[in-house]
């Protein structure tokens, strides 16, 4: 990996004593890439906020629909940033499931990206066991250094930089991303990735929001934020729905537009997708933008 330059993303190290968002997420999805510290914290969150597991499933469900839609639009390569551990229902599974359904050869390439070294190591094992190493790869890279991230993705030789890409930013951008000076850098990092994408690419975003939700749901999200912020696994930021939408910049919004995630093309849900329901649909906003 290229050396990080001053002013770019700070390095990430493995902390065995604090839960990791990637491994807690894996625990909620029924995976095995998690440790006692992650399960204990995951259970503490669920005891107080059972909603959390449903939020995780709702992001996966949106990913399922967005990937299927993009494949139908001709996308054959995905860059999944903040992918965590791509256990069942991950991007490569969804794309290959659609290929089988439509009797096409499985040809979609996927580059997973995460900055959690444990998630990356588990992804390697998982892709060895259940992926196709000619089409699926993972890189240890950081959203906060988008140029290096892009470079590493291209170096896998699975991401063809001149061919349209499906960029996935699912359940990632509400995690605060301080740069080396402590400044939030999500908008700038996403803008840089949009710039790097070739014409014809798509960007899918899903993001938790407390904007306009009923008072009791707002109180739940505030409690959840407090617990997550205290955990040491990274702070969260529930942006407003306009704040989230603005992350797509001037990309053209794909129909049906910018919506609560559960309302985005429900008819596209693949047969193996795990379904869920939320107490209030506006908790997760989602949309897909197209460049050009
Ligand atoms: C909540 S999980 C979402 C996992 C997956 N996208 C999904 O929806 O199932 C967020 C993931 O983003 C990763 N992540 C957080 N900050 C990151 C960064 N700056 N660069 C790359 N990955 C990051 C975490 O390690 C974690 O695996």
Q: What are the sequence ranges of the domains in the chain? A: 21-290
Q: What is the mean pLDDT of residues 169-181?
A: 95
194 band by pLDDT with thresholds 50, 70 and 90: very high
- Topology annotation, domain 21-290: Rossmann fold (3.40.50)
177 CB within 6 A, ligand 1: yes
Residue 207 CB–ligand 1 contact under 6 Å: no
Task: Say how far apart CA 33 and CA 174 lie, in whole Å.
Answer: 22
pLDDT in tens, 121-173: 999 999 999 999 999 999 999 999 999 999 999 999 999 999 999 999 999 99
CA 44-236-41 angle, 5° bins? 15
The answer to whether the CB of 142 is under 6 A from ligand 1 is yes
Please state the rounded mean pLDDT for residues 56-80: 97
C-alpha to C-alpha distance for 155 and 49, rounded to whole angstroms: 41
Quote the ligand 1 centre to 152 CA distance (angstroms). Answer: 17
């Amino acid at each position: 990996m290229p050396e990080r330059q001053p002013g770019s993303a700070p390095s990430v190290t493995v902390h065995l004593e604090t839960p990791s968002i990637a491994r807690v997420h894996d625990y909620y999805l029924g995976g095995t890439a998690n440790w006692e510290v992650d399960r204990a914290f995951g259970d503490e969150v669920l005891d107080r906020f059972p909603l959390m597991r449903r939020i995780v499933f709702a992001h996966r469900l949106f990913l399922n629909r967005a990937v299927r839609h993009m494949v139908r639009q001709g996308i054959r390569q995905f860059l999944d940033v903040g992918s965590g551990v791509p256990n069942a229902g991950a991007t490569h599974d969804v794309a290959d499931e659609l290929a089988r359904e439509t009797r096409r050869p499985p040809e979609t390439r996927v580059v997973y990206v995460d900055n959690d070294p444990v998630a990356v190591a588990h992804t390697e094992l998982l892709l060895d066991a259940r992926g196709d190493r000619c089409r699926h790869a993972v890189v240890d890279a950081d959203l906060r250094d988008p140029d290096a991230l892009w470079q590493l993705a291209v170096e896998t030789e699975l991401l063809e930089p001149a061919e349209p890409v499906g960029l996935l930013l699912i359940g990632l951008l509400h995690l605060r991303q301080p740069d080396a000076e402590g400044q939030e850098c999500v908008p700038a990092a996403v803008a840089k990735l949009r710039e790097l994408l070739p014409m014809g690419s798509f960007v899918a975003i899903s993001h938790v929001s407390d904007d306009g939700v009923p008072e009791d749901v707002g109180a739940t999200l505030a409690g959840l934020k407090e617990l997550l912020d205290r955990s040491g696994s990274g702070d969260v930021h529930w942006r407003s729905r306009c704040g989230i939408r603005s992350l797509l910049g001037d990309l053209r919004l794909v129909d049906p537009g910018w919506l609560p995630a559960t309302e985005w093309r429900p008819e596209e849900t693949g047969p193996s997708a795990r379904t869920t329901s939320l107490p209030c649909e506006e908790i997760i906003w989602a949309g897909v933008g197209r460049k050009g």
